[in-house]
Amino acid sequence: MRKSIATVSLSGTLPEKLHAVAAAGFDGFELFENDLVACPLSPEDVRLMAADLGLRVELYQPFRDAEALPPERFADALRRAEHKFRLMTRLGADLLLVCSNVSPQAIDDDALAAEQLHTLAERAAAHGVRIAYEALAWGRHVDDYLRSWRIVRMAGHPALGVCLDSFHILSKGTDPVGIEAIPGEKIFFLQLADAPRLTMDTLQWSRHYRCFPGQGDFDLAGFTRHVLAAGYRGPLSLEVFNDVFRRADPVRTAADAMLSLRFLERDPGGGAPPDLTDFGYVELATGPDGERLRRLVEVLGVDRVRLVDGGDAAELRAVGIGTPDPAAADAHVAALSAPDHAPDGTRVVFCAPRPGESAIDHVALTAPFAEASLWCRCVLGLRPHESLELPDPYGLVRSRAMTSVNGKVMLALNMADTASNVPWQHVAVVCDDVVGMARRLTAAGEPPLRIPANYYDDLDARFPGAPDLRGTDVLYDRAGDGEFLHLYTATIGRVFFEVVQRIGGYSGYGAANTPVRLAAQHGHKMRRE
């Protein structure tokens, strides 16, 4: 199917956006009116630029407050519409998005809305333009896709159909199964956006927190299946309003957008992320700290950590992930045209499973949050856990765990809103005696991060019967019948180690202890400086 993206989804000027859209491999774009109004190029020049880039103007949008109006207001809407129709002819665009009315002057009368949309479609058809009517989740009266379809059906004009927007439907919790009752030829356009589950005003949610499929919590694959089952054969188009994307590199954002659509297109048709078995190895560049890192790895006793000389500072370079068929996993990545490295630059290499239990519990990366979540889902087939916001002494850290279906491969994604330069890459290794490991690290001259006595006072209050860990610098968490003991080493370059001991099926990451760890890291850094 053709693939499209709204210009509002990207940062930059209109020419910059179009070049990014073309570079990512899109077939067309939705032209957001503000992008054209602010552009010094004439509509004819925009049309030529798009053609030179191999792009088609799939949709011009938005046209607002057009239906269910008093007569004098509707006359004004027709005047505005005639101007847009002439403009679209100059652009070479033949589909106009009309949003359901949000004006206080709108009348709650479906027959009137149908009559006026019929008139609007008749005017549009005279210019070779069609109208796609969309129910906004915050529409004054029409806020449901089934009602918008009912009005379109009542209007009965061949140049009038519906636009279905996943955000407006799924944000309200509306069942999308009813889409299959709409004739495919009357679904004129499909707009796709994911979003995290948030409890807030829907308009603000829509304007600031939309994201690409696979970056949020909506079931976009299921939604798209309903639309395709109805017979829709138009483009898959992304319309995403997001504050982060509006200031990000448009080329990189467009590439992520295309990856999300490729993965979504494969998902309804099967999709086959690799079956992951374990962490085969992690590879660290040593920077100038090779001797220290080798001593630390020796004390930790982890044979799956590879150290390679080079780099300006110690950092995570690569992760080997076991899978029964590495060649098939590589083919999966190639089919998506996805990068073979995480957004923070860490390479992922698929390898044959190694015998025995892996000593690597999980690996933590730092990367743009939505971008990293998408990459983990598409390339590795990891499933997201709840997104957390955790306090840092100088800001907030957003964290999300991503795990394979079998729970054998776990990545933690961390992103800070602060320029405090706390390094986030870390490798968590398994140990059956964390307290003993703390003593061995201290004896080797690499003591764990210092944990304040106040933490242990609070621990006694939170967890009656918890082990007495004062003086060990070991942290503790409990969930159900499971317990978790862990410690952190000091940071070397951009990397630190976590040592974990899981008891009784504990499956978390000790997230409640993260603020203590962050404060300890800041304290260690200040003592060194």
Lowest mean pLDDT among 74-78, 222-226, 381-385: 381-385
Q: What is the pLDDT of residues 423-478, one digit of tens each?
A: 578 999 999 999 999 999 999 999 999 999 999 999 989 999 999 999 999 999 99
Percentage above 70 pLDDT, the chain: 97
| Residues near 18 by beta carbon (within 8 Å), at least 6 away in sequence | 7, 29, 46, 49, 50, 53, 55
Say if residue 366's pLDDT is above 60: yes
| Averaged pLDDT, 130-143 | 97
Q: What is the pLDDT of residue 422?
A: 53
Q: What is the pLDDT of residue 371?
A: 85
Q: What is the pLDDT of residue 246?
A: 87
Say if residue 145's pLDDT is above 70: yes
| Averaged pLDDT, 121-135 | 98
DSSP, collapsed to helix, strand or coil, labels residue 344 as coil
Q: What is the pLDDT of residues 291-345, one digit of tens each?
A: 999 999 999 999 899 999 999 999 999 999 999 999 999 998 988 888 889 988 8
Q: What is the pLDDT of residues 229-253, one digit of tens each?
A: 999 999 999 999 988 888 889 999 9
Collect contacts of 339-346 with beta carbons under 8 A, ≥24 apart.
Answer: 339/375, 342/367, 342/372, 342/375, 342/376, 343/367, 343/368, 343/371, 343/372, 343/375, 344/372, 344/425, 346/316, 346/317, 346/318, 346/319, 346/425
Sign of CA dihedral 133, 135, 139, 140: positive
Determine the Cα–Cα distance for residues 279 and 511; give it in Å rounded to an integer: 22
Q: What is the pLDDT of residue 212?
A: 93
| Averaged pLDDT, 395-401 | 86
Say if residue 266's pLDDT is above 60: yes
b/e string for 313-345 if b means 16 or more Cβ within 10 A?
Answer: ebbbbbbbbbbeebeebeebbeebebeebbbbe
Q: What is the pLDDT of residues 163-209, one digit of tens each?
A: 999 999 999 999 999 999 999 999 999 999 999 888 889 999 998 88
Q: What is the pLDDT of residues 68-106, one digit of tens each?
A: 999 999 999 999 999 999 999 999 999 999 999 999 999
| Averaged pLDDT, 127-149 | 97
Q: What is the pLDDT of residue 26?
A: 98
Give 146's pLDDT tier (boundaries 50, 70, 90).
very high
Percentage above 90 pLDDT, the chain: 79
| Domains of the chain (ranges, CATH numbers) | 3-266 (3.20.20.150), 278-528 (3.10.180.10)
Give 57's pLDDT tier (boundaries 50, 70, 90).
very high
Residue 57 β-bridge partners: 29
Give 270's pLDDT tier (boundaries 50, 70, 90).
very low
| Averaged pLDDT, 18-30 | 98
| Number of other CB atoms surrounding residue 493 within 10 Å | 21
Say if residue 529's pLDDT is above 80: no
Determine the Cα–Cα distance for residues 512 and 509; give it in Å rounded to an integer: 9
User: What is the DSSP annotation of 389-408?
Assistant: EEEETTEEEEEEEEE-TTSS
Determine the Cα–Cα distance for residues 179 and 229; give it in Å rounded to an integer: 9
Q: What is the pLDDT of residues 96-107, one digit of tens each?
A: 999 999 999 999
User: What is the DSSP annotation of 273-287?
Assistant: -----EEEEEEEEEE
| Number of other CB atoms surrounding residue 501 within 10 Å | 21
Determine the Cα–Cα distance for residues 74 and 80; give it in Å rounded to an integer: 10
- Mean pLDDT in the chain? 93
Sign of CA dihedral 318, 319, 322, 326: negative
Q: What is the pLDDT of residue 271?
A: 52
Give residue 472's Cα distance to chain centre: 39
DSSP, collapsed to helix, strand or coil, labels residue 497 as strand
